[in-house]
Structure 1
Amino acid sequence: MLPPTQRLPQARVLIEMDRYFVLHAPRQTGKTTALHTLASELTAGGDIAALTFSCERAKAAGDDYAAAESLLLDSLREAAARSGWPEELLPPEPWPQVTPGSRFGSALSEWCRRCPRRVVLLLDEIDALQGNSMVSILSQLRDGHNARHQGRPFPASVVLCGLRNLRDYKVASGGDADRVNPASPFNIIAESLRLGDFTADEIAELYGLHTQATGQEFTKDAVDRVFELTQGQPWLVNALAYEITFRMRMADAITAGQVEGAKERLIRARATHLDSLVARLHEPRVKRVMEPVVAGTFPDIDLTFSDDLSYVHDLGLIKQEPPLEVANPIYREVILRVLGAPSEQHVMADPHSFVLPDGRFDLPRLLREFVVFWREHGEVLIRQDGYHEAACQIILMAFLHRLVNGGGQLDREYAAGTKRLDVLVRWSYTGPEGERLIQREAMELKVWRASENDPMPDGLAQLDRYLDRLTLSTGVLVIFDRRPEAPPWKERGGFEQATTPSGRQVTVLRV
C-alpha cells in the first residue's frame, strides 16, 4: 500500500495547531488506515498520546445518548488497551460517574488531566452516531473545546472521520449548514479535509511496490486502463489488481486486456463495496441526484438540492467537479446493470441466436427483437421502474446487456444535462485467418418528451460527434417517444435511414 499519511499532509499541520477538524471520504478509500498510521506517528514523537477508536458500536444506541456514551467509552478504553502504551498514558479506571449527557466530555477531561502528554483523539465512523446521540456527543466536544481557554483539560485536537463533510455534521447537530451558527453544537470546526482518490502516478507507484515484491510487472497500458476505469478510487484500484494476481492467477506481465477481464469479473461478483453503493440508489436523496444523471436531463434545483448533491458526492457516487456524472466507468456500468435487473428478467431471447455464421453480432436483428419486446413489455416496465424519468434508457440497456454480455461488452456514457446516452457494443470474434477481431457498434439514445421538438436533428449531430471519437462510419439513433400524443404501443418501432451533418448514413429507430 501507499504510505497513508502522505495522502493527508494537512492533517498533521492542523493537529500541531490544536485544531478540531473533519476528515471525510467515501467508504473503503483508506480513511481508517490513514487514521491509525497518523496516530502511531504522532504518539511515537513523544509529546502526544494520539488514539484512534471506532464509533460504530454506538449505532445500536440510536437516540439513547446515555447508551451511546457508554458504548463510545468502552470502545475508547479497548482501543487504548490494545495500543501497548505505558500505564501513565492510559485512560482512568473507572470513568468519572456523572450525569448521562455529560459522561463523554467528563471522561475526556479526566483522562487529559492525568495524562502527561497532549491527547489527540481520532473518532472513526462518526457517522454511526444518530439523532440525539450525535447532538449530545458533538455538544460535549464543543463545550470541552471552548472550556480549554478557561483551563479545563481536554483533547488538544479532535478529528471526526466518516463519510460526511462539515456541512452535514452541522445539519446533523441542529445547526445551519450555510453559516457559523451559535445554535449549532458543532460550530467549532473550520476545516474539512477529504481523503482524495489516487492519481495515475500513485497507481503506478502502488503497482510498482507489487513488482518490487514479486517481480510481476504491470504494463503502462494496464496502469492507464486501471486509472481510466476507476478514476483512482482506492478500493477499485486494489480490487482489480487482486482479481488479476490472486483470483485469475496471472503470472506474466499484466496487460490492459487482463484489466478489462478483471473488471468484468468484479462487476459480476458484485463485491460488498459495490453492493453497499448500489443499495443506496433508491434512497430519495440519492435518487433525486442520480435520476437526472441516468436520464441525461437537468436536475430540479431548489434550496435543498445542494445538500443532496453533497451527500451523494460524499458517498462517492458522483464526481466532485461538473458536469454532474457518475464517479467512474465501473460505477457507471454497475448502476445501470442494477437498475436494469428487473427489466432483464423479461428478456427471453436466446443470446446465441444473435451470432452470425461468421462470428459477428447481428445488431439489426437485436433492434428488431427489441421492437417486439418494447411493444409487449415497455408500457408495464416504465410504470414499474423506480427511476421513471430514465426508464427508457434503463430498459434498453437491460435488453442489450442480456443479449450482448455473453460474448461482448457494453461501454456506456451518460451525464446530467446531455439529453442522451451513448452506447458502444464491442464484440470479439475470430476472423477468416484465425485472427482475433473486434466488432464495434455505436448507438445514441434520445427521449422525446412532452412539449419538446423532435430530438432527431440534435440526435444526428450528437451521434456524428460520437462516431468521430470512435472513428466509425455508421451508427444507430434510438428515439423513445414519451409524449402523451405518441402512437399506440402496438404501432411503435419504425426504422428509417438518415444522414448525419457530416454525411454518414445511420439507422434511426423510433419506439
Structure 2
Amino acid sequence: MLPPTQRLPAARELIDMDRYFVLHAPRQTGKTTVLDTLASELTAEGAVAALTVSCERVKAAGDDYGAVESLLLDSLREAVDLSGWPKKLRPPRSWPRVTPGSRFGAALREWCRRCPRRVVLFLDEIDALQGNSMVSILSQLRDGHNKRHNGYPFPASVVLCGLRDLRDYKVASGGGSEGSNPASPFNIVAESLRLGDFTADEIAELYGQHTEATGQEFTKEAVERVFELTQGQPWLVNALAREVITKMRVSGSITGDHVEEAKERLIRARATHLDALAARLREPRVERVIAPIMAGTWPHTDTAFDDDVSYVHDLGLIRSTRDLKIANPIYREVLFRILGDRAERFVRADPHSFVLPDGRFDLPRLLEEFVVFWREHGEVLIRQEGYHEAACQIILMAFLHRLVNGGGQLDREYAAGTKRLDVLVRWPYTGPDGDRLVQREAMELKVWRAGENDPMPDGLAQLDRYLDRLTLPAGVLVIFDRRPEAPPWKERGGFEQAATPSGRQVTVLRV
C-alpha cells in the first residue's frame, strides 16, 4: 500500500485553513482509504477530532430528507463508536429535538459546542444523496459554514467525497449545471480535488513492497507493461498483481508476458470493477460521449455535452475533459467487448479453421468470411446496436474478437476527431526452426457517411503513418458505406488493391 495522504497533499493544506471542499475520483481509486488515514492522523495529533462518515445507507431514503437525516446521524454515531474516542470527543448521547430539515445541522452544532477540539467531518459516498435530500443536507452545511466566523460552533472543515464534482451534485438534486446563485447550497466549497492515478514510479514502489516482503520480483518490463495497460488506475494496478500472484500462482519473477495473460483473464472474467463500467455504458450521458470517441467523429459540443464529458471523466472512463480518449488500454478493450457481445453471438465460424498449416493466422480468409457475415447480419445488427454512431466498428471488432482472441490478441487505438479506428492483430506462432514468433497485421477502419467524400485517400495516408510506426510493409483498410445511396446489402464486400503514399501495399475492403 502506498502512503495514502502523500497522494493528496492539498487536502491537508485545505483542512488546516478550515476550508470546505470536494474530493472526487472514480470508484476504487483509494478515496475512502485516504480519508480514513487522514482522519486517524489528524486525530492522533491532538488538536482535531476528524471523523469519516459514510452516506451510503441513505440512498434508499431518496427525497425523504427527514429519514435521510436520521440515517446519516445513525451512521455518524456508529462511526464514533468504532473510533474508540474518549468520551470528551464524542457527540451528546441524544441529538437536539428540532424540525426535520434542520436536524443534521443542529446535531453538528451541538457536537462542536461540546467538543474541546476542532471538528473535521469527511462525508464519504456523498453521491448517495439525491434530490431534496441533497439540497437539505448541503443547505444545512452552508448555513453553519457561513455562521462560523461569529463564534457559531460548527465543523471547522467538511469534505464531500464521492464520484463526481460538485456541479453534478446540483444536477442530481434536480437543478441545472449552470452557475449557482449566491444563496445556493452548492457554493460552500473552496476547492474541488481529484484523486489521481498512480504514476509509473508509484507502481514500481507498490510492487517493490511485495518484493521486499516475499522476494518475488516484478521485472522492469512487467512494471512498464502494467503502467502501459492501466495508466495507473489503482484498482487495475492491484488487480493485475493479484491475478498473477494469487490466481495464476506464478512462483518466479513476474514478467511482461505474465501481466499480459493476467489482463486477458481479468477481462474474460468481467471482474466487478469492469462489470460496473458495463452498467454505465448504457446511460444516455455516457453514450453521448463514448460513441463519438469509438467512431472517431467530432461530437456536437454544447453546454449539456460539456457537462456529460465532466461526468464521464469523473467516472474514470476518459483521460481528461479536453483529451477525449479512453482512460487506458484495458478500458479501450473492455468497452468494445461489452458493446460487441450481441454481435459476437451471431458469429458461427470456427476460430481454429483460420489457423494455417504453418501456425500463422489466415487474415485474407477472415476478411472474406466477414463479407459473408456482414451481408447476412450487418443490417439487423446496426439497427439493434445502441451505439449507432460506432455500430460498424463495434460489429467488426466483435467478429475479430471471436476469431482472433482464442490464440492471438487485438490492440485498438481510437479517439474523437480521428475519423478512424486502428487495429493491430498479434498472433504468436512457432517458426520452422522452433523459434517463437509473432505475426502482426494492421487494419484501419473508416466510415463513409452521408455528404462526405470517399474516405479512401485519407485512410491510405493515415494507415501509412500507422504502418510506419509499426514498421510493417502492408495493411488492410476497411471502409463502411453508411450513405443512403450505398449499394444493397447483398452486393457489399468488394476488395481492391491500393498503395499508401510511401508505397506500402494495402488491401481495401468496402462493405
TM-score, normalization: structure 2?
A: 0.99
Distance 2:505 2:171 in 1: 55
CA contact (8 A) 2:80 2:90 kept: yes
CA contact (8 A) 1:122 1:158 kept: yes
The alpha-carbon deviation at position 176 of structure 1 amounts to 6.2
Distance 1:171 1:352 in 2: 51
Paired position in structure 2 for 1:353: 353
- Identity among equivalent positions (%) equals 82
Give deviations 1:343-388, integer Å, cap 9, x for gaps. 0000000001001011110000000000000000000000010000
Root mean square deviation, CA, Å: 1.0
Q: How does 1:144-293 map to 2 (within 5 A)?
A: 144-172=144-172, 177-179=177-179, 181-293=181-293
Paired position in structure 2 for 1:427: 427
The alpha-carbon deviation at position 147 of structure 1 amounts to 1.4
CA contact (8 A) 1:48 1:118 kept: yes
Distance 2:176 2:345 in 1: 46
CA contact (8 A) 1:175 1:183 kept: no
The alpha-carbon deviation at position 28 of structure 1 amounts to 0.2
Q: How does 1:285-364 map to 2 (within 5 A)?
A: 285-320=285-320, 322-364=322-364
Give deviations 1:65-120, integer Å, cap 9, x for gaps. 00000010000000000001001111111111111000000000000011111100
The alpha-carbon deviation at position 171 of structure 1 amounts to 4.0
Distance 1:416 1:455 in 2: 16
The alpha-carbon deviation at position 321 of structure 1 amounts to 5.6
Report the 3-state secondary structure (helix = DSSP H, G, I; strand = E; otherwise coil) of the residue aligned with 2:320.
coil
Distance 1:389 1:188 in 2: 40
Give the count of matched residue pairs. Answer: 511
Report whether the alignment pairs 1:386 with 2:351.
Answer: no
Distance 1:498 1:117 in 2: 76
Distance 2:57 2:70 in 1: 10
Give deviations 1:218-273, integer Å, cap 9, x for gaps. 11111111000000000000000010011111111111111100000010111111
Q: Which runs of 5+ in 1 are unaligned?
A: none
CA contact (8 A) 1:175 1:181 kept: no
Q: AA paired with 2:360? A: R
Report the 3-state secondary structure (helix = DSSP H, G, I; strand = E; otherwise coil) of the residue aligned with 2:143.
helix
CA contact (8 A) 1:410 1:424 kept: yes
Paired position in structure 2 for 1:24: 24
CA contact (8 A) 1:124 1:161 kept: yes
CA contact (8 A) 2:309 2:321 kept: no
Q: AA paired with 2:147? A: A
The alpha-carbon deviation at position 434 of structure 1 amounts to 1.7
Q: Which runs of 5+ in 2 are unaligned?
A: none
Paired position in structure 2 for 1:444: 444
Distance 1:87 1:203 in 2: 41
CA contact (8 A) 1:135 1:174 kept: no
Distance 1:360 1:482 in 2: 33
CA contact (8 A) 1:49 1:117 kept: yes
Distance 2:140 2:322 in 1: 38
Change (3 A) 1:192 1:353: same
Give deviations 1:442-491, integer Å, cap 9, x for gaps. 00000000000000000000110000111100000000000000001110
Paired position in structure 1 for 2:7: 7
Change (3 A) 1:175 1:156: farther
Paired position in structure 2 for 1:54: 54
Deviates further, 212-221 or 143-152:
143-152
CA contact (8 A) 1:175 1:185 kept: no
Paired position in structure 1 for 2:403: 403
Report the 3-state secondary structure (helix = DSSP H, G, I; strand = E; otherwise coil) of the residue aligned with 1:297.
coil
Deviates further, 482-491 or 142-151:
142-151
Report the 3-state secondary structure (helix = DSSP H, G, I; strand = E; otherwise coil) of the residue aligned with 2:406.
coil
Distance 2:147 2:172 in 1: 23
Give deviations 1:102-150, integer Å, cap 9, x for gaps. 0000000000011111100001000001111100000000001111122
Report the 3-state secondary structure (helix = DSSP H, G, I; strand = E; otherwise coil) of the residue aligned with 2:63.
coil
Distance 1:227 1:192 in 2: 26
Report the 3-state secondary structure (helix = DSSP H, G, I; strand = E; otherwise coil) of the residue aligned with 1:34.
helix
Paired position in structure 2 for 1:377: 377
Q: AA paired with 1:460? A: L
Change (3 A) 1:26 1:416: same
CA contact (8 A) 2:422 2:442 kept: yes
CA contact (8 A) 1:175 1:184 kept: no
